[in-house]
Amino acid sequence: MRDEKLLIRLSDTEKTLLDQYAQRQGAMTATWARMMLLRSVREPAPPTQYALYTPTADRPTLLSLFCGAGGLDQGFREAGFRTAVAVDIDNDCVKTFAYNHPHAKVLKRDIRAVTLRELDRLAERRIDPMGVLGGPPCQSFSVSNVHQSNDDPRHRLPEAYASLLRRLNKRKAISFFVFENVPGLLGRKHIHRYNRFKKLFEKAGFAVFEQPLDAKDYGIPQERPRIFIVGINQHLHRGVSWTPPSPESRTITVADAIRDLPEPVYNARGLDPDAFAVHPNHWVLVPRSKKFSNGVMKEGEMWGRSFRTLRWDKPSWTVAYGHREVHVHPNGKRRLSIYEAMLLQSFPQNYRLLGNMTAQVSLVSDAVPPRLALRVAQSIRESLRI
C-alpha cells in the first residue's frame, strides 16, 4: 500500500495572498501554511448549539465589571451577546478591552465609585443591560496567597458588585448576572463574606447558583478550577434555574495548542510588536537563570513555584503568574511567550494584549478563558431560552 500525499491546488491569486501573509508573519510560506493547517485540525471546533455572532445593536446587551482583558466578554460575544459598557480600574485592562471590543464603551474607574448616571453618560443613553458580568480580583481569596488579611480592601469588591447590580435591577429588571472567582471564595476562611454577598443578590430577587468548573473539561489546554456564580432574576424568569455546561470528552494538551509555533522574540528595548513574526504577543523574557541552560528543567518537573516545566502531553497548570515568572516551556530552555499563554487560555488568534511585558503577564493570568465563557454563555441562553 503506497503512501498518499496531500495535495492542495491553489489559484495564482490564492498563492499570492498566502505568500504575502506569510511574509508579514516573518515565516516561509510552506512552514506557515503547514503550521496553520495543523493547528486548525488539532483545535477543537466550538460547540454548535449557537452560531458565533458579530456584535450588532440588536444583540442582548451586557455590562461588564472588572472587565480585565475581556476573556469573559469574548466568550459571551461569541454566544451572541454584546457588551455595551465595561469598567475596570487598571489602565492596561481598559486599553486592551477597548482594542479588542471596539463596540463597547470602556470606563477606567473603581466600581465602588461608579454611578448609574456616569454609566448612562458613557453609553450616551440609559443603560439597561440584560446581564451583568464580572469577577473581582481573586488574589485576596486565593489559597495560594499566604499573606491574606482580614482588612484587605479587595474583600469588599464582591459587595460593591452586588450593590451596583441592585441599583441597576431596581431601575429595570436584569435577567441574569455571572460572577467568576477562585474556589477559595467559598472556603472556610471567606464563606461568611460570600454568604453576605449572596444574600444581597437574593434580596434583589435573584436565585443564585454556584458551580465549580475546570477549564480542562471544556476543550481548554489548562487545569483551571474556578467557581461560577450565576444569578437568575425570579421576577422575570420565575422558577428558572441555571444548568451548567456539560463537560467535553476530549482533553486538549499543551502540544495541541502551541507545539507548531516558531520561537518567539526575546524581550529587549525598542521592540516593535507589530513587526513580530506570528503575533504581537509572541515575545518572551530572556532566560537568565542557569536552570534554563544546565539541563535540569525536565518536562513536567517543578523547582518551586517559580520553575514549572509543562508537559507536551498534558494540559498546562493554571495560567496564573506573578512577578513575570511565567511557566516554563516544555523544552526547558525558556519560559512561555505571552502568546503561548494566551493560547493555553483559549484566546482567539486575532486577540491582542497591550502594555509592557509585566502588564501582559497580569492580563493573561487574570483572564477568564474565552472558550469556557462561551460555554457558560450558551448554558445561560439555554436556561433562559433566549
Judge whether 131 and 177 are in contact, CB under 8 Å.
yes
User: In whole angstroms, what is the distance from residue 72 CA to residue 134 CA?
Assistant: 8
User: In whole angstroms, what is the distance from residue 326 CA to residue 53 CA?
Assistant: 33
User: In whole angstroms, what is the distance from residue 76 CA to residue 171 CA?
Assistant: 24
User: In whole angstroms, what is the distance from residue 32 CA to residue 243 CA?
Assistant: 41
Residue 338 burial (CB count, 10 A): 28
User: In whole angstroms, what is the distance from residue 87 CA to residue 119 CA?
Assistant: 9
Instruction: Mark residue 87 as left, alpha or beta (left: phi above 0; alpha: psi -120 to 50; beta: remaining).
Output: beta
In Å, how far are 104, 189, 287, 321, 364 from 326, measured between CA atoms? 30, 28, 11, 6, 10
User: In whole angstroms, what is the distance from residue 216 CA to residue 223 CA?
Assistant: 5
67 is catalytic: no
**Torsion over CA: 194, 153, 119, 123 (sign):** negative
Coil vs helix vs strand at 21: helix
User: In whole angstroms, what is the distance from residue 70 CA to residue 91 CA?
Assistant: 13
Judge whether 373 and 80 are in contact, CB under 8 Å.
no
In Å, how far are 82, 118, 233 from 170, measured between CA atoms? 22, 17, 12
Residue of 119, 138, 372, 380 marked active site: 138
Which positions ≥6 away from 288 have C-beta within 8 Å? none
Judge whether 253 and 313 are in contact, CB under 8 Å.
yes
- Backbone torsions φ then ψ of 257, nearest 5 degrees: -90, -40
Catalytic center residues: 138
